[in-house]
Amino acid sequence: MTSQYKASRFMALPERPTPAYRLSGMCLPAPLSVGELETFSAISRQISPLRKRQTLFAQGEALKSLYIVRCGSLKQVYRDITDEAHITQFYLPGEVVGLDAISTGFHPGTTQALETTSVCEILPEALEEFSRKEAAEKGGNGCFLRVMSRALHQERMMVRLLLNRTSDVRLASFLLALSTRFRQQGYSPFCFRLSMSRSDIGNYLGLAVETVSRLLGRFQDLGLLTAKGREIRVDDLDGLMALADGRARQSIWHAGIVPPSSCRLAGMPAH
């Protein structure tokens, strides 16, 4: 492990690429950076908020616009020929929705609000105009391409995360990704509310609902977090990260139930 590079936690830095990847926290797409968000905001317009369960677009619908999530969250569901539904992505604030429809011009999956959600619409005309200008100025490596490339990279990391990893690593990674996202949005990374059901999480991570439930219970026993319905409080972030990175000593089922370290609640609001 060559050491010439310092590992940034979740993402290679442009100036100094991470030579090896940390999988934890790769469970969700990264939001746009502040600069990108500004860029896109300039060419987007807000549309009326979606209510819970309302769809932004349905599978098979023609691509009209791309969207950026402002607040709230959505899930994207691909339905296959056996009529099974697969949740392929959760979209949180700052994320671009609809990129996977560009190739065919039709949305490959239904996208649906998990709670009251507001999104901005990027009209195709505005995007074209923007691309034209951008291309003229900077050549092919536009902002938009970078966003797509990042999505591709992250989807690849997701595959690897889900593929060889055990259920506990997957769930820990997912929770960490959420925690990171909440921090980025200025919310507490320790206390948050899941907008998706256990069943959605299980579907997304390729686990049975029962497994998700059991794991949450087990995480709680281990003092990693406190879960009450959809409210999550992270009690031991380091422990959760160790688990997600595969650095955990052993299977969580064999681990004795350790009393939580005294410092774990430091600085946290009691919920």
Partner DNA sequence: CGCGCCGTTGAAAGTATTCAACAAGAGTGG
Partner DNA sequence: CCACTCTTGTTGAATACTTTCAACGGCGCG
Window 108 to 167, contacts with DNA (CB under 7 A): 166-167
Q: How far is the CB of 29 from its own copies (least distance, A)?
A: 10
Distance CA 230, CA 46 (A): 29
Tokens 């998990």 found at: 114
User: Which of 176, 152, 234 has the alpha carbon at shortest distance from 22?
Assistant: 176
DSSP string, 189-255: SSEEE--S-HHHHHHHHT--HHHHHHHHHHHHHTTSEEEETTEEEES-HHHHHHHHTT-SSS-TTTS
Q: Per-residue string for binding with its own copies, 200-239, x by CB under 8 A?
A: -----xx---------------------------------
Nearest-angstrom CA–CA distance, 60 and 79:
10
CB of 124 to its own copies, least distance (A): 7
- Name the amino acid, one letter, at 165: R
Q: How far is the CB of 68 from its own copies (least distance, A)?
A: 15
161-190 residues in contact with its own copies (CB under 8 A) are: 162-164
Among 26, 216, 234, 248, binds DNA (CB under 7 A): 216
What residues between 118 and 147 interact with its own copies by CB under 8 A? 124, 127-132, 134-136, 139-142, 144-147
Distance of closest approach, residue 228 Cβ to its own copies, in angstroms: 28
CB of 238 to DNA, least distance (A): 21
If one asks whether residue 150 binds its own copies (CB under 8 A), the answer comes out as yes
Q: How far is the CB of 202 from its own copies (least distance, A)?
A: 10
CA neighbor of 143 nearest in space, from 132, 129, 131, 154: 131
Q: Are 147 and 32 in contact (CB under 8 A)?
A: yes
User: Taking CB under 7 A as the criterion, which residues in 78-107 touch DNA?
Assistant: none
Count of alpha carbons within 13 Å of 70, Cβ hemisphere only? Answer: 16
Residue type, 107: H
Partner that binds at residue 7, options its own copies, DNA, none, CB closer than 5 to 8 Å by kind: its own copies
Q: Per CB under 7 A, which region of 8-16, 68-76, 90-98, 251-259 contacts DNA?
A: 251-259
Residue of 255, 187, 180, 198 lying closest to 224 (CA atoms): 255
Interacting span for its own copies (CB under 8 A) from 157-165, 185-193, 220-228, 233-241: 157-165
Residue 18 interaction partner, one of its own copies, DNA, none, beta carbon < 5-8 Å per kind: its own copies
Cα angle: 256, vertex 271, 267; to 5 degrees: 75
207 binds DNA (CB under 7 A): yes
Residue 115 C-beta: closest distance to DNA, Å: 10
Sequence-ordered list of residues with C-beta below 8 angstroms from that of 220, at least 6 positions apart, any chain: 226, 227
Candidates 47, 71, 99, 255; binder of its own copies (CB under 8 A) is 99
Selection from its own copies, DNA, none that 156 binds (CB < 5 to 8 A by kind) is its own copies
d(CA 242, CA 207): 21
